[in-house]
């Protein structure tokens, strides 16, 4: 890809982080543009009428929806592959991508990162304690689910790192930014996250620093 | 595929309908099992810990998440292809699948079919009028968006029928079951739906009949 690549994104969005991980893993040079997508700027809505980030612009082509973007990148730049070679194994990886993008996000990330951080940034609002409680409870259940997967697998979808690991790490890194992961709960989950966190592709995410909302010290520490 | 294929589904679920359309288009014989997924039967949760339909069982393999299932079926049975041959065109088809599965469902289907039908089936509840109003308003906006796509394309993602058409038709057919589509609003949308509705793959969906909640006459009429 010799064209200019531009990513419209917001640092604390897990869907943007998933795409940033894939872009970095594929060693693509990207110009990142911070988009306050909730403000609905007309030029941005022209790019993506859904008004969501991430949006990827490659030359004059515009791609939206994080899954469409990830699948496109994996098809266009096969090395390293981020989906397994076998169709049934790909289905399992995609099942887990759906699990994290949809269920984990709705039950955990939206309740915690949404309430603690995004709400403040968007409208200066205060977090609702019922949502924080529900998010924390669900987070423990999800960590246990991930630990269960890792009992019989090296990576979440099997013995190979896939989009499922990036979808999960994208959500979890946002939670870690607001100190909402209990790293004592599961050694297996901590080891898995340490492994993915130490990849060069993770560096840009560990450098994220929202003005007025700095991450805790351990967030970027590889030996957390 | 010579193995027994079993689909755990619920008739009025747009995600199940999308998978049923793909299965029928690929000419696969499937045993359909109606699953009252919200009751969380232990045997069902063993198949899919997310507790959602559709779930597809092929021999001893279990697939969940409608997108993972559709991509698997399209990869395993290439004829007829339901994604374009070009990577950028595939990204556009997948963008629209995301649009309908996520945005259209959240803004329209959940507010209308969820309130009018599913709520009654699950707990005998009454629809909330604010949600019905919001769903109806959003439905008009979405129909106009589809009409805009069809101004420059034969099918939603381009000149070829794709998963995007099935994702859209799956949502719209559920709304049509509760008479929530204004077919006078756009001739282009009506023509597109007539074209997809008359495909043999659509027959099983047109035969759906929930006990106690029969569809209106025009629902199964090809000349509506």
Instruction: Give the number of other CB atoms < 10 A from CB of residue A34.
Output: 13
Confidence of residue A2 (pLDDT cuts 50, 70, 90): confident
Residue A221 C-alpha, separation from nearest chain B C-alpha, in angstroms: 33
For B56-67, how does the pLDDT look when each residue is reduced to its tens digit (9 = 90+)?
999 999 999 999
User: Closest chain A residue to B66 measured between Cα atoms?
Assistant: A95
Separation between Cα atoms, residue B164 and residue B98, nearest integer Å = 8
Confidence of residue A1 (pLDDT cuts 50, 70, 90): confident
Q: Where are the alpha helices (DSSP H) in A110-200?
A: 110-113, 119-123, 129-151, 163-177, 187-197
Confidence of residue B131 (pLDDT cuts 50, 70, 90): very high
Q: What is the mean pLDDT of chain B?
A: 97
Instruction: Give the number of other CB atoms < 10 A from CB of residue B168.
Output: 28
The shortest CB-CB distance from A88 to any of B50, B61, B93 is to B61
Contacts of A91 (CB under 8 A, 6+ apart): B63, B68, B69, B71, B72
CA atoms within 13 A on the CB side of A53: 25
For A81-139, how does the pLDDT look when each residue is reduced to its tens digit (9 = 90+)?
999 999 999 999 999 999 999 999 999 999 999 999 999 999 999 999 999 999 999 99
Question: Which pLDDT score, from 0 to 100, does residue B2 have?
Answer: 81
Confidence of residue A67 (pLDDT cuts 50, 70, 90): very high
Confidence of residue A157 (pLDDT cuts 50, 70, 90): very high
User: Closest chain B residue to A75 measured between Cα atoms?
Assistant: B87
For B170-191, how does the pLDDT look when each residue is reduced to its tens digit (9 = 90+)?
999 999 999 999 999 999 999 9
Which residues partner with B6 through β-bridges? B31, B57
Residues of chain A with a CB closer than 8 angstroms to some CB in chain B: 49-50, 61, 63-65, 67-69, 71-72, 75-76, 87-88, 90-95, 97-99, 103, 145
For A15-45, how does the pLDDT look when each residue is reduced to its tens digit (9 = 90+)?
999 999 999 999 999 999 999 999 999 999 9
User: Closest chain A residue to B58 measured between Cα atoms?
Assistant: A88
Cβ atoms of B101 and B69 within 8 Å: the answer is no
Residue A125 C-alpha, separation from nearest chain B C-alpha, in angstroms: 24
**Residue located via tokens 């979890």:** A172
The shortest CB-CB distance from A65 to any of B61, B88, B94 is to B94
pLDDT at B217 over 90: yes
Q: Contacts of residue B64 in chain A, CB cutoff 8 Å?
A: 95, 98
> What are the structure tokens assigned to A61, written together?
């082509």
- The pairing of beta strand A31-34 with beta strand B5-9: unpaired
Closest Cα partner for B108 from B158, B17, B53, B178? B178
Distance set, CA B71 to CA A198, B63, B74, B97 (Å): 31, 11, 5, 11
Phi then psi for residue A184, to 5 deg, are: -85, -15
Separation between Cα atoms, residue A145 and residue B134, nearest integer Å = 36
Mutate to test the interface with A, among B55, B66, B91, B92 (most CBs of A within 10 A): B91
> What are the structure tokens assigned to B210, written together?
């929930």
Residue A184 C-alpha, separation from nearest chain B C-alpha, in angstroms: 24
For B140-157, how does the pLDDT look when each residue is reduced to its tens digit (9 = 90+)?
999 999 999 999 999 999
Task: State whether ipTM is beyond 0.95.
Answer: yes
Mutate to test the interface with B, among A18, A45, A60, A68 (most CBs of B within 10 A): A68
The shortest CB-CB distance from A94 to any of B65, B97, B99 is to B65
Residue B91 C-alpha, separation from nearest chain A C-alpha, in angstroms: 5
Instruction: Give the number of other CB atoms < 10 A from CB of residue A3.
Output: 10
Is the Cβ pair A98, B49 closer than 8 Å? no
Contacts of B42 (CB under 8 A, 6+ apart): none
Mutate to test the interface with B, among A95, A97, A102, A144 (most CBs of B within 10 A): A95
């Amino acid at each position: 890809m010799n064209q200019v690549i531009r990513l419209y994104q917001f640092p604390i969005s897990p869907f943007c982080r998933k795409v940033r991980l894939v872009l970095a893993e594929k060693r693509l040079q990207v110009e990142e543009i911070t988009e306050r997508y909730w403000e609905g700027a007309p030029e941005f809505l022209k790019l993506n009428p859904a008004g969501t980030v991430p949006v990827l612009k490659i030359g004059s082509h515009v791609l939206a929806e994080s899954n469409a973007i990830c699948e496109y990148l994996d098809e266009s730049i096969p090395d390293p592959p981020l989906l397994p070679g076998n169709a049934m194994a790909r289905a399992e990886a995609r099942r887990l991508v759906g699990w994290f993008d949809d269920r984990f996000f709705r039950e955990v990330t939206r309740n915690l990162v949404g309430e603690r951080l995004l709400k403040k940034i968007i409208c200066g609002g205060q977090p609702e304690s019922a949502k924080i409680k529900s998010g924390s409870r669900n987070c423990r259940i999800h960590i246990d689910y991930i630990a269960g997967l890792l009992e019989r697998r090296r990576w979440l979808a099997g013995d190979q790192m896939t989009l499922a690991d990036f979808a999960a790490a994208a959500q979890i890194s946002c939670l870690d930014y607001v100190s909402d992961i209990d790293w004592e709960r599961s050694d297996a989950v901590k080891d898995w996250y340490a492994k993915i966190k130490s990849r060069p592709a993770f560096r840009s995410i560990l450098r994220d620093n929202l003005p007025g909302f700095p991450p805790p010290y351990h967030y970027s520490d590889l030996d957390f």
